[in-house]
Chains A and B, each alone.
Chain A
Amino acid sequence: MEQIITKTAAPPKKNDRRRRGNIVIGIADMRLSDRPGDVLVTYSLGSCLGVTLYDPLAKVGGMIHCMLPLSKVDPEKAERTPCMFVDAGIPILFRELLELGARKNRLIVKAAGCSQLLDDKKLFEIGQRNYTVFRKMMWKNNMLISGEHIGGSLSRTLFLDIATGETVVRIKDEEVEL
Chain B
Amino acid sequence: MTYAQLMIKQIETLPAVPIALSRLSQILADPDSGISDVVEIVRYEPGLTAGILKLANSAYFGAVSSVGSIHQAVTRLGMQQVFRLVVISTMHSTMNRPLSGYDLPPGELWRHSVAAALATKCLSEEIGIVHAETAFTAALLHDIGKMIIGNHLKTDFLAIEAIATGRQISFEEAEREVIGADHAQIGAALLETWGIPQEIVTSVRWHHEPDALGSASPMVDLVHVADAMCLSMGIGPGRDGLYYRPSEAARARCSISKRTMESVISRTLGALSEFADLFSLPKEDVHHVV
Contact = CB atoms under 8 A, between A and B. Distances in A.
Interface in B262-290: 262-263, 265-267, 269-270, 283-285, 287-288
Nearest to A28: B269
A118 B245 contact: yes
Contact of A153 (B242, B261, B285): B242
Nearest to B242: A153
A139 interface: no
A64 to B, nearest CB: 14
A47 B232 contact: yes
A67 B233 CA distance: 7
B244 interface: yes
A117 B243 CA distance: 6
B26 to A, nearest CB: 38
A123 interface: yes
Interface in B212-253: 228-229, 231-239, 241-248, 251
A85 B232 CA distance: 15
B263 to A, nearest CB: 5
B202 interface: no
B250 to A, nearest CB: 9
A70 to B, nearest CB: 8
Interface of B: 103, 168-170, 228-229, 231-239, 241-248, 251, 258-259, 261-263, 265-267, 269-270, 283-285, 287-288
Given A45-B234, A124-B228, 20 more contacts: A43-B287, A44-B287, A46-B237, A48-B234, A67-B233, A67-B266, A68-B262, A74-B263, A81-B269, A116-B242, A118-B242, A118-B243, A121-B248, A123-B247, A124-B246, A125-B258, A126-B265, A153-B243, A155-B238, A157-B287
Given A124-B246, A155-B241, A46 B265 contact: no
Residue picked from A42, A43, A45, most chain B C-beta under 10 Å: A43
A153 B232 CA distance: 9
30 contacts: A26-B283, A26-B284, A27-B235, A28-B269, A43-B234, A43-B285, A44-B234, A44-B284, A44-B287, A67-B269, A68-B266, A73-B259, A73-B262, A74-B262, A74-B267, A77-B267, A77-B270, A81-B269, A115-B241, A117-B246, A119-B245, A123-B246, A123-B251, A124-B261, A126-B265, A153-B243, A153-B244, A155-B238, A155-B242, A172-B103
B230 to A, nearest CB: 9
Interface of A: 20, 24, 26-28, 41-48, 67-68, 73-74, 77, 81, 84, 115-119, 121, 123-127, 153-155, 157, 172
B269 A27 contact: yes
Contacts of A67: 233, 265-266, 269
Given A68-B262, A84-B266, A157-B287, A118 B234 contact: no
Contacts of B103: 172
Contacts of A123: 228, 246-248, 251
A74 B55 CA distance: 28
A130 B269 CA distance: 17
Contacts of B234: 27, 43-48, 155
